Structure 1
Amino acid sequence: MTIREGKWDCKTCGRIGNRGPDSYCGSCGSTRPDDVQFYLPEDAAEVTDEKLLAEANAGADWKCSYCSTQNNAFDNFCVSCGNKRNEAQGDAYMQEREIRFDAVNNNPPPAEKTSSPLSRKIKIGLIAAAVSIITLFALIMLTSTINLTVTGFEYSGKVIYEEYKMVTEEDWSLPASAEKLGEFRAIHHYDKIPDGYETKTRDVQVKTGEKKVKVGTKDMGNGYFKDIYETRPVYETRKETYKETRYKDVPVYQTKYKYKMMKWVPGQPYE
Structure 2
Amino acid sequence: MAKRTRIIEGTWNCTSCDTQGIPARHKVCPHCGNPRELTGKESEFDFGGVDAKSGKSLREGVTDSAALELAAAGEDWFCAYCGAANRGDSPRCKQCSAERTDDAKASVGRELPSPAQARPVAAPKKPLGKKAWLALGLLFSCCFGSALFSLWAGSTHEFAGSVTGTAWKRSVVRERFSPVVKTGWRDELSTTPPRMPVNGAGEAAGVANVRDCASRQRGTRRVPDGTERVCRTKTRKVACGTEEKCRRRDQGNGFVEEVCEDVTKYCSESYEDCQTETRYRTEPVFAQQCRYDTYEWKEQDRRELSGTDDRPRWPELPASGVDRLRREETYSVRVRYEDDGEKEHVLEPGSEQEFLTWKKGQGVSLTVTNLGKVEKVVPR
For 1:53 and 1:259, how far apart are their aligned partners in 2? Answer: 105
User: 1:51 aligned to 32, 44, 65, which one?
Assistant: 65
**2:47 aligns to what?**
40
Report the alpha carbon displacement of residue 198 of structure 1 after superposing the two structures with TM.
0.3
User: 1:94 aligned to 107, 111, 130, which one?
Assistant: 107
Q: Tell me the alpha carbon deviations over residues 144-198 of structure 1, each in whole angstroms, 9 at most, x when there is no partner.
A: xx9x999x7798xxx9x9x988474444623763453425364655245373340
**2:9 aligns to what?**
5
Check if 1:224 corresponds to 2:255.
Answer: yes
For residue 63 of structure 1, what is the amino acid of its counterpart? W
For 1:200 and 1:154, how far apart are their aligned partners in 2? Answer: 74
Q: CA RMSD, aligned part only?
A: 5.1
> Residues 61 and 93 of structure 1 are in contact (CA less than 8 Å); yes or no, is this contact kept in structure 2?
yes
User: 1:63 aligned to 77, 96, 102, which one?
Assistant: 77
User: 2:234 aligned to 192, 203, 210, which one?
Assistant: 203
User: 5 Å matches for 1:8-157?
Assistant: 8-10=12-14, 16-34=20-38, 36-42=43-49, 45-51=59-65, 54-55=68-69, 57-58=71-72, 60-63=74-77, 70-72=85-87, 80=94, 94-100=107-113, 101-103=115-117
For residue 251 of structure 2, what is the amino acid of its counterpart? M
CA distance 1:13–1:76, shift in 2 (3 Å): closer
> Residues 182 and 291 of structure 2 are in contact (CA less than 8 Å); yes or no, is this contact kept in structure 1?
yes
For 1:264 and 1:26, how far apart are their aligned partners in 2? Answer: 112
Report the alpha carbon displacement of residue 17 of structure 1 after superposing the two structures with TM.
3.8
Q: Provide the TM-score with structure 1 as the length reference.
A: 0.53
For 1:210 and 1:192, how far apart are their aligned partners in 2? Answer: 52
For 2:189 and 2:66, how far apart are their aligned partners in 1? Answer: 97
Check if 1:174 corresponds to 2:189.
Answer: yes
> Residues 74 and 87 of structure 2 are in contact (CA less than 8 Å); yes or no, is this contact kept in structure 1?
yes
Q: Tell me the alpha carbon deviations over residues 58-90 of structure 1, each in whole angstroms, 9 at most, x when there is no partner.
A: 2533438898764445x5765839x9x999x78
Kindly name which structure, 1 or 2, has the bigger radius of gyration based on alpha carbons.
Answer: 2
Report the alpha carbon displacement of residue 237 of structure 1 after superposing the two structures with TM.
0.8
**1:113 aligns to what?**
none
Q: Tell me the alpha carbon deviations over residues 8-27 of structure 1, each in whole angstroms, 9 at most, x when there is no partner.
A: 34455665543323211345
- How high is the sequence identity, in percent, across the aligned residues? 15
SS at match of 1:54: helix
Report the alpha carbon displacement of residue 223 of structure 1 after superposing the two structures with TM.
0.9
> Residues 9 and 16 of structure 1 are in contact (CA less than 8 Å); yes or no, is this contact kept in structure 2?
yes
Structure 1 gap segments, 5+ residues each: 106-145, 266-271
For 2:162 and 2:94, how far apart are their aligned partners in 1? Answer: 108
CA distance 1:229–1:183, shift in 2 (3 Å): farther
Higher mean displacement: 204-213 or 63-72: 63-72
- Higher strand fraction: Structure 1 or Structure 2? 2
Higher mean displacement: 25-34 or 255-264: 255-264
Q: Provide the TM-score with structure 2 as the length reference.
A: 0.41
> Residues 213 and 229 of structure 1 are in contact (CA less than 8 Å); yes or no, is this contact kept in structure 2?
yes
